[in-house]
Structure 1
Protein backbone atom coordinates (compact mmCIF):
# COMPACT_ATOMS: atom_id res chain seq x y z
CA UNK A 1 0.00 0.00 0.00
CA UNK A 2 1.39 3.39 -0.95
CA UNK A 3 1.97 6.05 1.63
CA UNK A 4 1.14 9.56 0.47
CA UNK A 5 3.78 12.21 1.09
CA UNK A 6 1.99 15.53 1.87
CA UNK A 7 2.26 18.13 -0.90
CA UNK A 8 3.85 21.49 -0.30
CA UNK A 9 1.48 24.28 0.67
CA UNK A 10 2.67 26.51 -2.18
CA UNK A 11 1.47 23.95 -4.74
CA UNK A 12 -2.19 24.45 -3.88
CA UNK A 13 -2.83 27.73 -5.73
CA UNK A 14 -6.49 28.66 -6.14
CA UNK A 15 -7.71 25.29 -7.38
CA UNK A 16 -10.34 25.01 -4.64
CA UNK A 17 -12.14 28.15 -5.81
CA UNK A 18 -11.77 27.25 -9.48
CA UNK A 19 -13.25 23.80 -8.91
CA UNK A 20 -16.08 25.23 -6.82
CA UNK A 21 -17.10 27.38 -9.79
CA UNK A 22 -17.71 24.10 -11.66
CA UNK A 23 -19.57 22.60 -8.69
CA UNK A 24 -16.65 20.29 -7.85
CA UNK A 25 -14.42 19.58 -4.86
CA UNK A 26 -10.69 18.98 -4.79
CA UNK A 27 -10.98 15.76 -2.82
CA UNK A 28 -12.79 14.08 -5.73
CA UNK A 29 -9.64 14.25 -7.85
CA UNK A 30 -7.29 13.51 -4.98
CA UNK A 31 -9.26 10.32 -4.31
CA UNK A 32 -9.19 9.40 -7.99
CA UNK A 33 -5.40 9.65 -8.25
CA UNK A 34 -4.77 7.80 -5.00
CA UNK A 35 -7.05 4.88 -5.79
CA UNK A 36 -5.53 4.62 -9.25
CA UNK A 37 -2.08 4.29 -7.70
CA UNK A 38 -3.38 1.73 -5.22
CA UNK A 39 -4.84 -0.31 -8.10
CA UNK A 40 -1.48 -0.22 -9.86
CA UNK A 41 0.08 -1.82 -6.80
CA UNK A 42 -2.24 -4.81 -7.25
CA UNK A 43 -0.34 -6.00 -10.33
CA UNK A 44 2.12 -8.86 -9.84
CA UNK A 45 5.08 -10.23 -11.77
CA UNK A 46 2.78 -12.87 -13.25
CA UNK A 47 0.50 -10.27 -14.85
CA UNK A 48 1.01 -8.90 -18.34
CA UNK A 49 3.61 -6.14 -18.55
CA UNK A 50 0.95 -3.52 -19.16
CA UNK A 51 -1.15 -4.55 -16.14
CA UNK A 52 -0.03 -1.76 -13.74
CA UNK A 53 -0.92 1.07 -16.11
CA UNK A 54 -4.14 -0.59 -17.23
CA UNK A 55 -5.31 -1.15 -13.66
CA UNK A 56 -4.40 2.44 -12.80
CA UNK A 57 -6.41 3.85 -15.72
CA UNK A 58 -9.46 1.68 -15.10
CA UNK A 59 -9.49 2.59 -11.41
CA UNK A 60 -9.28 6.31 -12.14
CA UNK A 61 -12.15 6.17 -14.62
CA UNK A 62 -14.28 4.11 -12.22
CA UNK A 63 -13.46 6.19 -9.14
CA UNK A 64 -14.09 9.54 -10.79
CA UNK A 65 -17.39 8.46 -12.34
CA UNK A 66 -18.61 6.75 -9.17
CA UNK A 67 -17.64 9.74 -7.04
CA UNK A 68 -19.33 12.30 -9.27
CA UNK A 69 -22.42 10.10 -9.59
CA UNK A 70 -22.86 9.50 -5.86
CA UNK A 71 -21.71 12.89 -4.58
CA UNK A 72 -23.07 15.25 -7.25
CA UNK A 73 -25.65 13.29 -9.24
CA UNK A 74 -23.61 13.20 -12.46
CA UNK A 75 -24.35 10.57 -15.12
CA UNK A 76 -22.17 8.29 -17.22
CA UNK A 77 -21.66 9.02 -20.91
CA UNK A 78 -19.64 6.82 -23.32
CA UNK A 79 -19.42 8.39 -26.80
CA UNK A 80 -17.51 5.92 -28.99
CA UNK A 81 -16.04 4.17 -25.93
CA UNK A 82 -14.63 7.40 -24.48
CA UNK A 83 -15.82 7.25 -20.84
CA UNK A 84 -17.11 10.56 -19.49
CA UNK A 85 -19.19 11.92 -16.64
CA UNK A 86 -21.80 14.60 -17.39
CA UNK A 87 -23.27 17.00 -14.84
CA UNK A 88 -27.06 17.14 -14.24
CA UNK A 89 -27.34 20.38 -16.27
CA UNK A 90 -25.65 18.65 -19.23
CA UNK A 91 -23.21 21.51 -19.62
CA UNK A 92 -19.96 19.95 -18.34
CA UNK A 93 -18.35 16.58 -19.05
CA UNK A 94 -15.16 15.17 -17.53
CA UNK A 95 -12.88 12.40 -18.78
CA UNK A 96 -9.49 10.93 -17.83
CA UNK A 97 -6.41 11.51 -19.96
CA UNK A 98 -2.64 11.02 -19.73
CA UNK A 99 -0.47 14.10 -20.23
CA UNK A 100 3.21 14.80 -20.78
CA UNK A 101 5.86 16.22 -18.45
CA UNK A 102 4.34 19.73 -18.53
CA UNK A 103 1.18 18.48 -16.83
CA UNK A 104 0.46 20.21 -13.53
CA UNK A 105 3.06 22.93 -14.09
CA UNK A 106 2.11 26.58 -14.65
CA UNK A 107 3.03 28.65 -17.68
CA UNK A 108 4.16 27.71 -21.16
CA UNK A 109 4.66 25.48 -23.00
CA UNK A 110 1.31 23.95 -22.17
CA UNK A 111 1.02 20.19 -21.70
CA UNK A 112 0.07 17.83 -24.51
CA UNK A 113 -1.88 14.62 -24.35
CA UNK A 114 0.50 11.66 -24.23
CA UNK A 115 -1.29 9.84 -27.04
CA UNK A 116 -3.19 11.08 -30.11
CA UNK A 117 -6.72 12.08 -29.15
CA UNK A 118 -8.63 9.66 -31.39
CA UNK A 119 -11.95 10.20 -33.13
CA UNK A 120 -14.13 10.52 -30.03
CA UNK A 121 -11.90 13.04 -28.26
CA UNK A 122 -11.36 15.02 -31.47
CA UNK A 123 -15.12 15.48 -31.76
CA UNK A 124 -15.38 16.55 -28.12
CA UNK A 125 -12.57 19.08 -28.52
CA UNK A 126 -14.30 20.39 -31.64
CA UNK A 127 -17.41 20.78 -29.50
CA UNK A 128 -15.37 22.94 -27.12
CA UNK A 129 -14.49 25.13 -30.12
CA UNK A 130 -18.12 25.25 -31.29
CA UNK A 131 -16.94 23.96 -34.69
CA UNK A 132 -18.73 20.63 -35.04
CA UNK A 133 -21.73 18.63 -33.95
CA UNK A 134 -21.14 15.30 -32.29
CA UNK A 135 -23.57 12.57 -33.48
CA UNK A 136 -26.27 11.34 -31.16
CA UNK A 137 -25.83 7.95 -29.50
CA UNK A 138 -27.53 5.36 -31.72
CA UNK A 139 -29.11 3.44 -28.84
CA UNK A 140 -31.15 4.49 -25.78
CA UNK A 141 -29.01 5.06 -22.67
CA UNK A 142 -28.81 2.48 -19.91
CA UNK A 143 -29.66 3.25 -16.31
CA UNK A 144 -27.34 5.89 -14.92
CA UNK A 145 -26.32 7.09 -18.38
CA UNK A 146 -27.19 10.32 -20.14
CA UNK A 147 -28.43 10.98 -23.66
CA UNK A 148 -27.82 14.39 -25.21
CA UNK A 149 -29.73 16.07 -28.01
CA UNK A 150 -28.24 18.53 -30.50
CA UNK A 151 -28.93 21.58 -28.34
CA UNK A 152 -27.35 19.94 -25.29
CA UNK A 153 -24.26 18.96 -27.29
CA UNK A 154 -23.99 22.55 -28.47
CA UNK A 155 -23.39 23.78 -24.92
CA UNK A 156 -21.40 20.82 -23.57
CA UNK A 157 -17.85 21.63 -22.44
CA UNK A 158 -15.62 18.57 -22.04
CA UNK A 159 -12.82 18.78 -19.48
CA UNK A 160 -10.13 16.19 -18.75
CA UNK A 161 -8.36 15.11 -15.60
CA UNK A 162 -4.87 15.21 -17.08
CA UNK A 163 -2.15 13.34 -15.16
CA UNK A 164 1.58 12.75 -15.40
CA UNK A 165 3.35 10.13 -13.30
CA UNK A 166 7.06 9.55 -12.85
CA UNK A 167 9.26 7.54 -10.59
CA UNK A 168 12.35 8.53 -8.59
CA UNK A 169 13.51 4.97 -7.90
CA UNK A 170 16.62 5.91 -5.94
CA UNK A 171 14.47 7.90 -3.53
CA UNK A 172 11.69 5.33 -3.45
CA UNK A 173 9.13 7.92 -4.50
CA UNK A 174 6.46 8.34 -7.16
CA UNK A 175 5.05 11.77 -8.02
CA UNK A 176 1.73 12.31 -9.76
CA UNK A 177 1.03 15.79 -11.12
CA UNK A 178 -2.46 16.54 -12.37
CA UNK A 179 -4.80 19.24 -13.58
CA UNK A 180 -8.42 19.56 -14.65
CA UNK A 181 -8.26 21.30 -18.00
CA UNK A 182 -10.50 22.32 -20.90
CA UNK A 183 -8.93 21.50 -24.30
CA UNK A 184 -9.32 23.86 -27.23
CA UNK A 185 -7.25 22.43 -30.09
CA UNK A 186 -5.47 19.36 -31.42
CA UNK A 187 -2.01 19.64 -32.97
CA UNK A 188 -0.75 18.18 -36.25
CA UNK A 189 0.18 14.85 -34.63
CA UNK A 190 -3.28 14.36 -33.22
CA UNK A 191 -2.35 15.32 -29.65
CA UNK A 192 -4.28 17.89 -27.65
CA UNK A 193 -1.83 20.77 -27.25
CA UNK A 194 -3.83 23.87 -26.31
CA UNK A 195 -6.21 24.50 -23.40
CA UNK A 196 -8.81 27.20 -22.79
CA UNK A 197 -8.52 26.83 -19.02
CA UNK A 198 -6.23 24.86 -16.71
CA UNK A 199 -6.93 24.15 -13.03
CA UNK A 200 -3.67 22.95 -11.51
CA UNK A 201 -4.17 20.39 -8.73
CA UNK A 202 -1.83 19.61 -5.81
CA UNK A 203 0.99 17.19 -6.55
CA UNK A 204 0.67 13.85 -4.75
CA UNK A 205 3.80 11.94 -3.77
CA UNK A 206 3.83 8.29 -2.79
CA UNK A 207 6.49 6.33 -0.95
CA UNK A 208 7.17 3.23 -3.00
CA UNK A 209 9.08 -0.04 -3.01
CA UNK A 210 10.14 -0.94 -6.55
CA UNK A 211 10.27 -4.73 -6.89
CA UNK A 212 10.15 -4.86 -10.69
CA UNK A 213 9.73 -2.58 -13.68
CA UNK A 214 6.32 -1.48 -14.86
CA UNK A 215 5.44 -2.25 -18.46
CA UNK A 216 4.56 0.49 -20.91
CA UNK A 217 0.87 1.14 -21.62
CA UNK A 218 -1.25 4.06 -22.74
CA UNK A 219 -1.37 5.14 -19.11
CA UNK A 220 2.34 4.80 -18.31
CA UNK A 221 5.20 7.22 -18.90
CA UNK A 222 8.98 6.74 -19.06
CA UNK A 223 10.81 6.51 -15.75
CA UNK A 224 12.61 9.72 -14.82
CA UNK A 225 14.88 10.71 -11.97
CA UNK A 226 14.40 14.00 -10.12
Structure 2
Protein backbone atom coordinates (compact mmCIF):
# COMPACT_ATOMS: atom_id res chain seq x y z
CA UNK A 1 0.00 0.00 0.00
CA UNK A 2 1.48 3.35 -1.06
CA UNK A 3 1.79 5.88 1.72
CA UNK A 4 -0.56 8.82 1.05
CA UNK A 5 1.79 11.19 2.89
CA UNK A 6 4.72 10.36 0.65
CA UNK A 7 7.23 13.16 0.16
CA UNK A 8 8.46 13.03 -3.43
CA UNK A 9 11.40 15.11 -4.61
CA UNK A 10 12.29 15.03 -8.30
CA UNK A 11 15.22 17.30 -9.07
CA UNK A 12 16.64 18.32 -12.40
CA UNK A 13 19.63 19.69 -10.50
CA UNK A 14 19.75 18.09 -7.04
CA UNK A 15 23.12 19.58 -6.04
CA UNK A 16 21.30 22.45 -4.29
CA UNK A 17 19.22 20.19 -2.06
CA UNK A 18 21.56 18.59 0.45
CA UNK A 19 18.85 18.40 3.10
CA UNK A 20 17.04 15.79 1.02
CA UNK A 21 20.14 13.67 0.44
CA UNK A 22 21.18 13.32 4.09
CA UNK A 23 23.60 16.21 3.64
CA UNK A 24 25.55 14.21 1.05
CA UNK A 25 26.34 15.76 -2.34
CA UNK A 26 24.28 14.01 -5.03
CA UNK A 27 27.47 13.68 -7.09
CA UNK A 28 28.55 10.97 -4.64
CA UNK A 29 25.58 8.83 -5.66
CA UNK A 30 26.08 9.61 -9.33
CA UNK A 31 29.76 8.58 -9.17
CA UNK A 32 28.77 5.27 -7.61
CA UNK A 33 26.24 4.59 -10.37
CA UNK A 34 28.70 5.46 -13.13
CA UNK A 35 31.32 3.14 -11.67
CA UNK A 36 28.72 0.40 -11.37
CA UNK A 37 27.85 0.84 -15.04
CA UNK A 38 31.51 0.46 -15.96
CA UNK A 39 31.64 -2.96 -14.35
CA UNK A 40 28.20 -3.94 -15.65
CA UNK A 41 29.32 -3.26 -19.18
CA UNK A 42 32.72 -4.87 -18.68
CA UNK A 43 31.39 -8.43 -18.83
CA UNK A 44 31.19 -10.48 -22.02
CA UNK A 45 29.55 -13.69 -23.18
CA UNK A 46 32.09 -15.83 -21.33
CA UNK A 47 31.11 -14.50 -17.91
CA UNK A 48 28.31 -16.11 -15.89
CA UNK A 49 24.94 -14.57 -16.76
CA UNK A 50 24.69 -12.97 -13.32
CA UNK A 51 28.15 -11.40 -13.46
CA UNK A 52 27.07 -7.98 -14.73
CA UNK A 53 24.50 -7.37 -12.01
CA UNK A 54 26.73 -8.72 -9.26
CA UNK A 55 29.74 -6.68 -10.32
CA UNK A 56 27.68 -3.52 -10.68
CA UNK A 57 26.21 -3.86 -7.18
CA UNK A 58 29.60 -4.56 -5.65
CA UNK A 59 31.15 -1.50 -7.30
CA UNK A 60 28.23 0.78 -6.46
CA UNK A 61 28.49 -0.28 -2.81
CA UNK A 62 32.27 0.15 -2.74
CA UNK A 63 32.32 3.53 -4.51
CA UNK A 64 29.50 5.01 -2.43
CA UNK A 65 31.10 3.93 0.82
CA UNK A 66 34.52 5.24 -0.21
CA UNK A 67 33.25 8.61 -1.45
CA UNK A 68 31.08 9.29 1.58
CA UNK A 69 33.65 8.22 4.17
CA UNK A 70 36.37 10.26 2.47
CA UNK A 71 34.26 13.40 2.29
CA UNK A 72 31.99 13.37 5.35
CA UNK A 73 32.61 12.89 9.04
CA UNK A 74 30.88 10.27 11.13
CA UNK A 75 30.15 7.71 8.41
CA UNK A 76 31.49 4.17 8.70
CA UNK A 77 31.34 1.14 6.42
CA UNK A 78 30.10 -1.85 8.37
CA UNK A 79 28.85 -5.36 7.78
CA UNK A 80 25.58 -5.88 9.65
CA UNK A 81 23.97 -9.31 9.55
CA UNK A 82 25.85 -10.07 6.35
CA UNK A 83 24.79 -6.84 4.62
CA UNK A 84 27.26 -4.05 3.71
CA UNK A 85 25.91 -0.76 5.05
CA UNK A 86 26.93 2.82 5.66
CA UNK A 87 26.18 4.00 9.20
CA UNK A 88 26.39 7.37 10.89
CA UNK A 89 25.75 6.76 14.57
CA UNK A 90 25.75 10.47 15.47
CA UNK A 91 23.09 11.29 12.87
CA UNK A 92 21.22 8.03 13.43
CA UNK A 93 21.26 7.24 9.71
CA UNK A 94 21.94 4.04 7.75
CA UNK A 95 22.20 3.60 3.97
CA UNK A 96 21.81 0.26 2.20
CA UNK A 97 22.25 -0.31 -1.55
CA UNK A 98 20.10 -2.62 -3.64
CA UNK A 99 18.71 -2.91 -7.16
CA UNK A 100 15.13 -1.86 -7.79
CA UNK A 101 12.47 -2.84 -10.29
CA UNK A 102 11.54 -0.99 -13.49
CA UNK A 103 9.63 1.66 -11.52
CA UNK A 104 12.77 2.89 -9.80
CA UNK A 105 13.39 6.55 -10.58
CA UNK A 106 9.90 7.05 -12.07
CA UNK A 107 7.97 9.59 -10.03
CA UNK A 108 4.55 8.46 -11.27
CA UNK A 109 5.14 4.87 -10.17
CA UNK A 110 5.93 3.11 -6.89
CA UNK A 111 9.18 1.13 -6.99
CA UNK A 112 9.98 -2.12 -5.25
CA UNK A 113 13.26 -3.80 -4.51
CA UNK A 114 14.03 -6.00 -7.51
CA UNK A 115 14.48 -9.29 -5.74
CA UNK A 116 12.86 -10.64 -2.61
CA UNK A 117 15.18 -10.34 0.38
CA UNK A 118 15.47 -12.28 3.60
CA UNK A 119 15.37 -11.39 7.27
CA UNK A 120 18.20 -8.85 7.03
CA UNK A 121 16.07 -6.52 4.92
CA UNK A 122 13.17 -6.98 7.30
CA UNK A 123 15.47 -6.10 10.19
CA UNK A 124 16.67 -2.84 8.64
CA UNK A 125 13.24 -1.76 7.42
CA UNK A 126 11.90 -2.51 10.87
CA UNK A 127 14.23 0.13 12.27
CA UNK A 128 12.15 2.81 10.56
CA UNK A 129 8.81 1.82 12.02
CA UNK A 130 9.16 3.66 15.30
CA UNK A 131 9.72 6.88 13.35
CA UNK A 132 6.21 6.95 11.88
CA UNK A 133 2.72 6.99 13.30
CA UNK A 134 1.08 3.60 13.33
CA UNK A 135 -1.73 4.87 11.09
CA UNK A 136 0.70 5.92 8.38
CA UNK A 137 1.81 2.46 7.37
CA UNK A 138 0.56 -1.05 6.76
CA UNK A 139 3.51 -3.08 7.96
CA UNK A 140 2.26 -6.51 8.91
CA UNK A 141 4.34 -8.36 11.45
CA UNK A 142 7.61 -6.41 11.22
CA UNK A 143 8.80 -5.33 14.65
CA UNK A 144 10.56 -2.01 15.27
CA UNK A 145 14.19 -2.36 16.28
CA UNK A 146 15.28 1.16 17.26
CA UNK A 147 15.06 4.76 16.07
CA UNK A 148 17.85 4.47 13.51
CA UNK A 149 16.64 5.75 10.14
CA UNK A 150 17.46 3.41 7.25
CA UNK A 151 17.51 4.82 3.72
CA UNK A 152 17.69 2.66 0.58
CA UNK A 153 19.75 3.62 -2.46
CA UNK A 154 17.81 2.02 -5.32
CA UNK A 155 18.98 1.76 -8.92
CA UNK A 156 17.86 0.05 -12.12
CA UNK A 157 19.55 -0.51 -15.49
CA UNK A 158 16.99 0.07 -18.25
CA UNK A 159 18.34 -1.39 -21.50
CA UNK A 160 15.24 -0.42 -23.49
CA UNK A 161 15.65 3.27 -22.64
CA UNK A 162 19.47 3.10 -22.51
CA UNK A 163 19.58 4.75 -19.10
CA UNK A 164 20.17 4.12 -15.42
CA UNK A 165 17.61 5.48 -12.97
CA UNK A 166 18.29 5.80 -9.27
CA UNK A 167 16.83 7.27 -6.11
CA UNK A 168 17.52 7.60 -2.39
CA UNK A 169 14.36 6.62 -0.56
CA UNK A 170 13.12 6.05 2.97
CA UNK A 171 10.94 2.95 3.38
CA UNK A 172 8.02 2.68 5.75
CA UNK A 173 7.44 -1.03 5.38
CA UNK A 174 7.81 -4.24 3.42
CA UNK A 175 5.33 -6.64 1.93
CA UNK A 176 5.83 -10.34 2.36
CA UNK A 177 6.52 -11.87 -1.04
CA UNK A 178 7.35 -15.44 -2.00
CA UNK A 179 8.29 -18.28 0.30
CA UNK A 180 10.33 -18.62 3.46
CA UNK A 181 9.67 -15.09 4.73
CA UNK A 182 11.20 -13.30 1.75
CA UNK A 183 10.24 -9.64 1.52
CA UNK A 184 10.22 -6.82 -0.97
CA UNK A 185 10.22 -3.20 0.13
CA UNK A 186 7.13 -1.62 -1.41
CA UNK A 187 6.15 1.38 0.74
CA UNK A 188 8.05 4.67 0.98
CA UNK A 189 7.89 7.73 3.21
CA UNK A 190 10.34 9.83 1.19
CA UNK A 191 11.71 9.44 -2.35
CA UNK A 192 14.53 11.58 -3.73
CA UNK A 193 14.74 10.92 -7.47
CA UNK A 194 17.97 11.82 -9.28
CA UNK A 195 18.23 12.67 -12.98
CA UNK A 196 18.70 9.48 -14.99
CA UNK A 197 22.09 8.75 -16.53
CA UNK A 198 22.12 7.90 -20.22
CA UNK A 199 24.50 5.14 -21.23
CA UNK A 200 25.96 7.68 -23.67
CA UNK A 201 26.85 10.06 -20.83
CA UNK A 202 29.59 7.79 -19.54
CA UNK A 203 33.10 9.27 -19.49
CA UNK A 204 35.28 8.26 -22.42
CA UNK A 205 37.67 6.38 -20.14
CA UNK A 206 34.78 4.14 -19.13
CA UNK A 207 33.72 3.46 -22.70
CA UNK A 208 37.24 2.51 -23.76
CA UNK A 209 37.31 -0.36 -21.28
CA UNK A 210 34.19 -2.13 -22.53
CA UNK A 211 34.51 -5.31 -24.53
CA UNK A 212 33.73 -4.80 -28.19
CA UNK A 213 31.56 -7.89 -28.30
CA UNK A 214 29.37 -6.73 -25.42
CA UNK A 215 25.67 -6.87 -26.27
CA UNK A 216 24.67 -4.50 -23.45
CA UNK A 217 23.11 -1.91 -25.74
CA UNK A 218 21.19 -4.44 -27.82
CA UNK A 219 17.46 -4.61 -27.22
CA UNK A 220 16.28 -8.20 -27.33
CA UNK A 221 13.46 -8.84 -29.75
CA UNK A 222 10.29 -10.32 -28.32
Q: TM-score range by the shorter chain?
A: 0.7 to 0.9
Q: Could you list the per-position Cα deviations for residues 30-57 of structure 1 after superposition, in whole angstroms to 9, with x for gaps in the alignment?
A: 1010000011222233222221111111
Structure 2, unmatched stretches of 5+, are 1-9, 131-142, 178-182, 201-206
1:186 CA displacement? 0.8
Q: Describe how 1:17-28 pairs up with structure 2 within 5 A.
A: 17-21=16-20, 22-28=22-28
SS at match of 2:63: helix
Give the TM-score taking structure 1 as reference length. 0.72
Q: Describe how 1:71-150 pairs up with structure 2 within 5 A.
A: 71-73=71-73, 74-87=75-88, 89-107=90-108, 109-130=109-130, 131-133=143-145
Distance 1:180 1:157, change over 3 A: same
Structure 1, unmatched stretches of 5+, are 1-10, 134-153, 215-222
1:174 CA displacement? 2.4
Q: Kindly report the root-mean-square deviation, in angstroms, between the aligned alpha carbons of the 2 structures.
A: 2.4
Give the TM-score taking structure 2 as reference length. 0.74
Report how many aligned residue pairs link the two structures. Answer: 182
Question: In the alignment, does 2:167 pair up with 1:167?
Answer: no
1:17 CA displacement? 4.6
Question: In the alignment, does 2:170 pair up with 1:182?
Answer: yes
SS at match of 2:110: coil
Question: In the alignment, does 2:20 pair up with 1:32?
Answer: no
Whole-angstrom distance in 2 between the partners of 1:23 and 1:123: 25
